[in-house]
């Protein structure tokens, strides 16, 4: 069909094989080569064994129902109990922190369902043994084991409701057990809550003295620590010391700067004093000294006068000498005044050095105090933390004790009976459950029996199994055709007919019925069965692209697998395609072809070999197809094997190959007989017909092992009788063909006559 591509066959030169398996009957690719469980084969086996599965299921189900109906009736009853505390007391207590009721509500908000421990506790000896002991006076057979086994405690879909049920053959016993169980569960819920409260109070009372002693010890330790180090709060003390250190550090820095400036001034002052005073004084101390500046100004005036007088008088005059004496006196006074300033600067330096030393000592002392405070602060923090934890624990235990005392005042049972124990009724569910369990068990058992029977039978049922066992390519899949049973009637009736005309008429009638004679129909007809043979012939022609297949042997492992039917239909298909086909019946033991084709068997292959006749004298033309020629088996010889292995047979085979386009040899079964193996090496190959549902895998394997001893080329296998054969593409195509034919009829009715095409000879 258009758009569909087929894989190209992989040829093997010696055996003419190709590794192409056509689409499986179900339209699915075989997964046998992938390994693992082949689900397709399993499902196919189950479909074949449906009667076995249904039979086993019916028997097991019926036995289960019958046993349930004939047994003594079982009575069942139950009650529902609400496990959520919904009393007024619990609603009030749930608002009080630290109470068990408040904890229960918090847990209920986060949990889904009762825990497995509580469910197990409800069936413990603590609760059930008193019930069994009380009932033993009236029902001696009641024990804890009976109650624990028969009592069903199951949470319902609502996670706060428990469904409690019990079943027994005695209705009174069921009623009594459920009433006592309901009362025991209600009492248990209250006892459990009060027991928890009591245990909590006892635990708190034992822990409180230790907590109080711990708090008092830490408080005493903290008090002693503060007194020892004269400390109130390490943080505030640390802040004060830090501030003081900052102030002293700033002062020491300023003092150091002043000291450095004064020392530099002293050095500069010493240099200027040793030199002669000049008009400009760089030392700030001399500039700031008024007396020194006044003397310096006077000295400058005297020097100016001396300079004026020297321009008029000589150096030795009295006026100049007086001025020089005054100059000398001023220099002496100026030197003493400089010494006085230098002494004052040195004194300032000593003051600054003393202040700097004091500030340094104060700063070192503060640093030492800060280091010591860090150690003290750490210990103080540890004590404070321990005291805080101990105090919080003490407060929590005191609050918990008060809350538990409030809880202890509760007297209402937290659980409630929603539905009281019902009256015991016979359990109809036993029959339904038995039927259901029986059906399930029967189905499983039936599936197991079906698979076991299929495994024991070891019969091949699908083309995939044939391919897996034989490792041969599947040349074709022939669907199961129920009408082929009419061919068996030909064998039985043909022997009773007295004339050739009667035989031919009966054969024509059967051929038209099963589709062998297409010439009697005005247009092309087909079916999945016939299309399978057309596909088979096409695959045979594609076996080799170099040389055409001219002669083939059609055989099977055992009798009854359809090899003769396959030979007839394959020959008829090739002849319909314009090939001159010779169909040779080489079954000289039990020939069948002449009966199936409505031919006489007076002379045949055995006569040609033994009497040295011309083969064309005994070849008959088939009444079904003009291009189909048949050589029947002839008279049954005493030793068929000798005739088939003779030189005459080999010469005949060569003549057949030269005269006809295709020669098909129908042979006896391969298993146990050597007939086909003797002349098959002289042909292009043998095609093995495997009857699905008829041949066992062991027989196929044995047959293939036997062929290995002979130089026989096995072209492939044909899966015959596939009951699961489906051709969806075929159906869709011919539905379209039918619609087109209908349109053609409408065109004819409208006086437009299309050309008539004869399709009887076309694929």
Residue 647 lies in a domain: yes
Residue 127 lies in a domain: no
- Give the least confident one: 34-43, 126-135, 644-653, 671-680: 34-43
Q: Which of 455-459, 614-618, 731-735 has the highest mean pLDDT?
A: 614-618
Helices (H) and strands (E) in the chain, counts: 26, 13
Residue 654 lies in a domain: yes
CA angle 259, 262, 266 (to 5 degrees): 135
**Whole-angstrom Cα distance, residue 566 to residue 618?**
23
The domain that holds 684 is classified in CATH as: 3.40.50.300
Count Cβ neighbours within 10 Å for each residue of 536-560 and write b for 16 or more, e otherwise. bbebbebbbeeeebebbbbbbbbbe
The answer on 298 and 444 residing in a single domain is no
What domain range includes position 289? 234-375
- Give the least confident one: 78-92, 100-114, 231-245, 597-611: 100-114
Contact 566, 481 (CB under 8 A): no
The answer on 693 and 642 residing in a single domain is yes
Does position 19 have pLDDT exceeding 50, yes or no? no
The residues, ordered by sequence, that sit 6+ positions from 617 with a Cβ below 8 Å of its Cβ are: 603
pLDDT cut 90: percent of the chain above it: 8
pLDDT computed for residue 572 by the predictor: 92
The answer on 562 and 674 residing in a single domain is yes
pLDDT computed for residue 763 by the predictor: 29
pLDDT computed for residue 434 by the predictor: 75
Q: How many domains does the chain divide into?
A: 3
Does position 357 have pLDDT exceeding 70, yes or no? yes
pLDDT computed for residue 144 by the predictor: 87
The answer on 470 and 447 residing in a single domain is no
DSSP result, 658-725: HH-SEEEEE---STT--HHHHHGGGSS-EEEEEETTTSBHHHHHHHHHHHTTTT--EEEEEEEEETT-
The answer on 302 and 336 residing in a single domain is yes
**Predicted structure pTM score:** 0.46
pLDDT computed for residue 735 by the predictor: 56
pLDDT computed for residue 662 by the predictor: 94
Residue 164 lies in a domain: no
The answer on 710 and 568 residing in a single domain is yes
In this structure, the number of other CB atoms found within 10 A of the CB of residue 142 comes to 22
Residue 185 lies in a domain: no
Give, to the nearest 10 degrees, the angle between helix 171-229 and helix 100-110: 110
Give, to the nearest 10 degrees, the angle between helix 171-229 and helix 125-135: 150
pLDDT computed for residue 760 by the predictor: 34
Residue 156 lies in a domain: no
Q: Which of 123-132, 225-234, 475-484 has the highest mean pLDDT?
A: 123-132
Higher pLDDT, 327 or 623: 623
Does position 602 have pLDDT exceeding 80, yes or no? yes
User: pLDDT per residue over 218-232, tens digit each?
Assistant: 888 888 877 777 777
User: pLDDT per residue over 399-418, tens digit each?
Assistant: 888 877 776 665 566 788 87
The answer on 552 and 595 residing in a single domain is yes
Higher pLDDT, 664 or 541: 664
Count Cβ neighbours within 10 Å for each residue of 422-450 and write b for 16 or more, e otherwise. eebeebeebbeebbeebbebbbebbbebb
In this structure, the number of other CB atoms found within 10 A of the CB of residue 679 comes to 22
Residue 436 lies in a domain: yes
Output the average pLDDT for the chain.
74
User: pLDDT per residue over 739-760, tens digit each?
Assistant: 555 554 443 343 333 332 333 3
Contact 537, 664 (CB under 8 A): no
Q: What are phi and psi of 372, to 5 degrees?
A: -65, -35
The answer on 528 and 496 residing in a single domain is yes
Residue 554 lies in a domain: yes
The answer on 679 and 571 residing in a single domain is yes
pLDDT computed for residue 581 by the predictor: 94
Question: How far from 442 is each of 44, 171, 436, 438, 586, CA to CA, in Å?
Answer: 20, 32, 10, 6, 51
Q: Is the dihedral of CA 434, 435, 436, 438 positive or negative?
A: positive
Contact 427, 49 (CB under 8 A): no
The answer on 506 and 485 residing in a single domain is yes
User: pLDDT per residue over 544-570, tens digit each?
Assistant: 767 888 999 999 988 888 888 899 999
The answer on 465 and 452 residing in a single domain is no
User: pLDDT per residue over 697-723, tens digit each?
Assistant: 888 888 888 888 777 888 899 988 887
The residues, ordered by sequence, that sit 6+ positions from 745 with a Cβ below 8 Å of its Cβ are: none
Count Cβ neighbours within 10 Å for each residue of 611-635 and write b for 16 or more, e otherwise. eeeebeebbbebbbbebbbbbbbbb
pLDDT cut 70: percent of the chain above it: 71
Does position 459 have pLDDT exceeding 60, yes or no? yes
4 pLDDT band (50/70/90 cuts)? very low
Does position 281 have pLDDT exceeding 80, yes or no? no
Contact 424, 171 (CB under 8 A): yes
Does position 163 have pLDDT exceeding 70, yes or no? yes
234 pLDDT band (50/70/90 cuts)? confident
pLDDT computed for residue 575 by the predictor: 93
User: pLDDT per residue over 679-703, tens digit each?
Assistant: 888 898 999 999 887 888 888 888 8
* Of the candidates 44, 53, 51, 50, the residue with the CA atom closest to the CA atom of residue 725: 44
User: pLDDT per residue over 30-79, tens digit each?
Assistant: 444 444 456 766 766 677 667 878 888 888 877 877 776 666 677 788 88
pLDDT computed for residue 677 by the predictor: 85
The answer on 477 and 436 residing in a single domain is no
């Amino acid at each position: 069909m258009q758009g569909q591509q087929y894989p190209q066959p992989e040829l093997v030169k010696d055996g003419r094989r190709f590794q192409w398996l056509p689409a499986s009957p179900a339209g699915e690719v075989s997964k046998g080569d992938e390994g693992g469980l082949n689900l397709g084969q399993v499902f196919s086996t189950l479909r074949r064994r449906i009667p076995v599965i249904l039979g086993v299921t019916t028997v097991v189900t019926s036995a289960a129902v019958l046993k349930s109906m004939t047994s003594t009736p079982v009575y069942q009853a139950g009650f529902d109990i609400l496990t959520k505390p919904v009393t007024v007391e619990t609603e009030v207590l749930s608002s009080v922190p630290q109470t068990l009721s408040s904890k229960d509500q918090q847990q209920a908000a986060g949990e889904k369902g009762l825990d497995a421990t509580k469910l197990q506790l409800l069936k413990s000896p603590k609760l059930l043994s008193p019930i069994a002991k009380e009932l033993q006076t009236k029902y001696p057979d009641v024990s804890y084991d009976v109650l624990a086994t028969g009592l069903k405690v199951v949470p319902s879909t609502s996670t706060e409701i428990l469904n409690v049920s019990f079943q027994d053959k005695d209705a009174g016993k069921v009623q009594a057990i459920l009433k006592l169980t309901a009362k025991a569960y209600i009492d248990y819920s209250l006892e459990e809550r009060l027991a928890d409260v009591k245990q909590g109070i006892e635990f708190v009372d034992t822990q409180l003295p230790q907590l109080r002693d711990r708090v008092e010890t830490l408080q005493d330790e903290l008090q002693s620590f503060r007194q020892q180090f004269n400390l109130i709060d390490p943080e505030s003390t640390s802040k004060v010391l830090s501030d003081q250190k900052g102030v002293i550090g700033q002062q020491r820095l300023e003092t150091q700067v002043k000291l450095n400036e004064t020392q530099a001034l002293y050095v500069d002052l010493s240099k200027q004093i040793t030199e002669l005073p000049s008009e400009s004084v760089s030392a700030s101390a001399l500039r700031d000294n008024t007396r020194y500046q006044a003397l310096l100004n006077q000295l400058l005036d005297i020097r100016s006068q001396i300079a004026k007088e020297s321009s008029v008088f000589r150096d030795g005059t009295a006026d100049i000498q007086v001025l020089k004496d005054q100059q000398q006196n001023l220099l002496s006074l100026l030197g003493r005044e400089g010494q006085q300033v230098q002494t004052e600067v040195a004194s300032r330096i000593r003051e600054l050095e003393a202040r700097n030393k004091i500030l340094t000592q104060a700063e070192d002392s503060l640093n030492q105090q800060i280091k010591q405070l860090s150690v003290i602060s750490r210990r103080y923090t540890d004590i404070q933390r321990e005291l805080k934890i101990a105090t919080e624990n003490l407060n929590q235990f005191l609050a918990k004790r008060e809350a538990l005392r409030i809880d202890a005042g509760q007297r209402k049972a937290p659980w409630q009976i929603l539905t009281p124990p019902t009256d015991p009724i016979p359990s109809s569910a036993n029959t339904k459950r038995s039927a259901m369990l029986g059906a399930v068990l029967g189905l499983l058992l039936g599936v197991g029996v079906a698979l076991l029977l299929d495994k024991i039978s070891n019969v091949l049922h699908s083309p995939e199994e044939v391919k897996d066992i034989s490792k041969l390519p599947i040349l074709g899949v022939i669907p199961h055709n129920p009408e082929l049973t009419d061919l068996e009637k030909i064998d039985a009736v043909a022997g009773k007919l007295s004339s050739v005309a009667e035989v031919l008429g009966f054969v024509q009638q059967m051929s038209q019925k099963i589709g062998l004679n297409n010439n009697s129909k005005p247009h092309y007809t087909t079916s999945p069965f016939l299309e399978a043979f057309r596909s088979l012939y096409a695959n045979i022609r594609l076996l080799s692209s170099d040389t055409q297949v001219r002669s083939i042997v059609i055989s099977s492992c055992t009798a009854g697998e359809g090899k003769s039917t396959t030979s007839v239909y394959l020959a008829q298909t090739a002849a319909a395609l314009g090939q001159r086909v010779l169909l040779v019946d080489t079954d000289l033991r039990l020939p069948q072809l002449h009966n199936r084709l409505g031919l006489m068997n007076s002379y045949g292959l055995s006569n040609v070999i033994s009497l040295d006749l011309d083969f064309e004298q005994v070849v008959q033309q088939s009444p079904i197809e003009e291009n189909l020629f048949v050589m029947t088996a002839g008279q049954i010889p005493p030793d068929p094997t000798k005739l088939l292995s003779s030189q005459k047979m080999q010469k005949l085979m060569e003549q057949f190959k030269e005269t006809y386009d295709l020669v098909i040899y129908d042979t006896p079964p391969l298993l146990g007989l050597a007939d086909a193996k003797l002349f098959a090496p002289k042909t292009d190959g043998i095609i093995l017909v495997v009857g699905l549902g008829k041949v066992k895998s062991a027989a196929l394997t044995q047959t293939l092992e036997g062929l290995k001893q002979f130089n026989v080329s096995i072209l492939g296998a044909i899966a015959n009788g596939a009951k699961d054969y489906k051709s969806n593409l075929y159906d869709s195509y011919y539905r379209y063909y039918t619609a087109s034919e209908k349109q053609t009829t409408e065109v004819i009715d409208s006086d437009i006559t299309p050309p008539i095409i004869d399709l009887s000879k076309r694929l």
